[in-house]
Structures are given as structure tokens and as C-alpha cells.
Amino acid sequence: MREKFHYKRMIVFLLMLFITTLIVGCNNSVETNATEGKEIQVFEAKQGEITGEISLTGILAPSNSVNVCPELSGKVTKVLVQKGDFVKKGQPLIKLDDEDLKIKYRKALASLEETRDSINRAKINYDSAKKDFERMKILYEEGAISKKEYENYLTQLELTKIIYESAESSGLDAAEAGIESIKLQLSKTTIKSPINGVVVSVNVENGEMVSAGMPIVTVTSIDSIIFKSNVIEKYLNYLKVGQKAVVYSESIPGKTFEGKLSFISPVSTTTGQQFPIEITIVNSKGELKGGMTGSAKLKIKSSNSIVVPRSAILEREGLYYVFKVIDDKAVKKRVKLGIENEKYVSILEGVSKGDKIIIENVDKVIEGETVAIKKASN
């Protein structure tokens, strides 16, 4: 009887244990099934206009710097400028010894006068021979003189004519050409500035001998200045020659200068992916100096770009990624960035119009995890 009672108690205990296990199992099954993906906020990638600004650092350089060289060799007699002088185009800088040329010039003038006198005498002789011949021709036709006498006058006329024409054509032209040549050489003994600017170097002294083609003075233009920098490849096609730019230098705090993009190199630097550009700035007051460091800002715009918020971008070791939502999963995708501003960034590669892009806490998203869209943002 006691054994039967224990047997019943054992059955009841096992039955209760089974029911308890079943209930716990059911409860656990409900919690798992109730678990949903992480709630996230997404942005549907759109196609449209985006504006931005690129900042550059660079060096300021003169728009024009000229090494002035003499065209003649000679001795310096006067140095008319010194470093720092402002000069105008055509202003004398250096004077070379011109005494020998002046002597040649005076001799050439004298020779020219002699040539002119010779021409005048030849003309007088020719005119006289013409009159004599005309008179003798009449006498010959009247039979007053012989044929031989007539031919002598004709020969004299032809000879004086040849002498006159030869003197007039060759002698005078040569003498005048010699004068002009010496005058040109004399003008070159005064070496003048080819531009408006500032003298930045003088490399000769009084009494020094110089050779033709030897740089003796350097003049730099200050009316305009060039900002030189490099632009990375991704911004190159957004820039246009002639567009406005703002340039400033830490050497002149609180002041900006307006310039225009004047040059975009079609060839990258030797290191690649960097393209030289130049911005020309009006510098009428001469505040900007060649060699200063500077910065520039250029506005850029694209009218047909894939655009997402900046918060969607994840950077890892210099590479950029976004997370797309595909079939309720977070899918990591590498992207190439274009124009950026404070709120948005254009995507050149890796995202298409309409893609759902996670835009919050992207650094905490795990690739492949299940997600649930909390709110779509436009």
C-alpha cells in the first residue's frame, strides 16, 4: 500500500516538472520571436543640386617678374635705381658708356653730309650736261657742229646721268642706314624698365663691364599678384576659369582680397591627383607680397549629383562608407565623395538614387545586422 502511494507521488512530481518545463520553454520561445531589428533612421538618396566651398593653401607670387638684360656689351657709367625703387615702364635703370658710339654717330653724320654734297654736285653736273646737250642737238640738226662733237655731248650727258643716279640711290641710302643703325645702338646704351613695378635686385655697379644678355636688374610687377595652389582631382571639373575667389593671408589679418581663377592646369603634378591652379588678384595698393603664404576659397556647385546627409558617412583609415538597408539588413558599401557642405555630401560612386541610407549612429551599426526603419527622412 505504501509502495503504491510513493509511486503515485512520483508520477505527480514528474508530471508537475514536465508542465513547468513546458511553460518555461513556451515563455522563452515567445521572447525570441518578439525580438525585432534595431530601429534606425534612413534617408532616401536623392538626385539634385549641391553647393559647397573648397579651401586651398598656397603661395603668392608676382604676376610678372623680369630680368632686365643689356642688348650691348659695355661699361656701366650710371646705376640710376636701387632695390625697392618703384619704376614705370620705360624708365631708365642703367646707363652704359656711349662715347665711342657718339663719335661714330658724328662721323656718320659728316659722311652723310658729304654724300648729300656729292649728290648735289652730281645733279648740278647732270643738269648742266642736259642743257648743253639740248643746245648742241639743235646746232647739230642745223649742221652747225659735226657729228663727232654731237656724240661727245651725248656721251657726257649719259655719264653724268649714271654718276648722279648712282650717288642718289646707293650712297645716300647707305649713309642714312648707317646713321639709323648707330642711333639704335645709342638708344640701347640706356637700359629701361620694360614694366611698371618694383626693383628687387641690382647686380651691377658703376664702372663694371657687362655683356649682352647678362641679367643686371630685376623688376617685379606689383599691380597684380598670383595665388598658386593645387586642387585635388575630385574638385577639378567643378572649377571654371574666370570664376571668383576670395584670397586672404595671415600676414594681413582681417582683410580679404577678391580674385579670379585664371589658370587650371590640364596636367597633374608629378605626384599625381593634384592639379596646379592660379588665381589672379588685383594688388593696386601693393599690400600682398610675392612669397607670402595665403589661403583661398572657391564656390563649387553640381546640379545633378546623388546627395545624402553628412551623418551617413563612416570614415575608416581614410576610406569612406555608408550603410544601405537591403532586405532589412545593414549592408556596408564603400563610396567616393564629391562636393561637401555643412549638411550634405554628394556621392560620386557607390550609391544610387532611391537607396535607403542609414543616417544616425553609423559608427555603431554592425554590418549584416537586422534593422527596422524608424523614420524616413527627406
Q: How many CA atoms lie within 13 A of 217 on its CB side?
A: 29
Residue 269 is classified by DSSP as -
What DSSP element (H or E) covers 101? helix 99-141
Collapsing DSSP to helix, strand or coil, 108 comes out as helix
pLDDT number for residue 112: 83
Residue 28 lies in a domain: no
Query: Backbone phi, then psi, for 141, in 5-degree steps?
Result: -65, -30
- Tally of structural domains, the chain: 4
Per-residue pLDDT of the chain (378 residues; tens, 9 = 90+): 444 445 555 554 555 544 444 333 433 322 222 235 788 999 999 999 999 999 999 999 998 999 999 999 999 999 999 999 999 999 999 999 999 999 999 998 888 888 888 888 888 999 999 998 899 889 888 888 889 988 898 899 899 998 888 877 766 777 888 899 999 999 999 999 999 999 999 999 999 999 999 999 999 998 899 999 999 988 998 999 999 999 999 999 989 999 999 999 999 988 878 999 999 999 988 899 889 999 999 999 998 899 999 999 999 998 999 999 999 999 999 999 999 999 999 999 999 999 999 999 999 999 999 999 875 545
> Which CATH number characterizes residue 293's domain?
2.40.30.170
Cβ contacts of 275 within 8 Å, gap of 6 or more: 230, 231, 232, 233, 236, 264, 265, 267, 268, 269
pLDDT number for residue 375: 53
pLDDT number for residue 284: 84
Q: Residues 72, 214: one domain?
A: yes
Residue 3 lies in a domain: no
Residue 86 lies in a domain: yes
**Domain coverage including residue 227:** 55-64+221-301
- Alpha-carbon distance of 12 to 34, in angstroms, equals 33
pLDDT number for residue 273: 82
> Which CATH number characterizes residue 77's domain?
2.40.50.100
Residue 11 lies in a domain: no
Collapsing DSSP to helix, strand or coil, 34 comes out as helix
> 30-56 burial, b for 16+ CB within 10 Å, e for fewer?
eeeeeeeeeebbbbebeeeebebebeb
Residue 20 lies in a domain: no
Q: Residues 208, 72: one domain?
A: yes
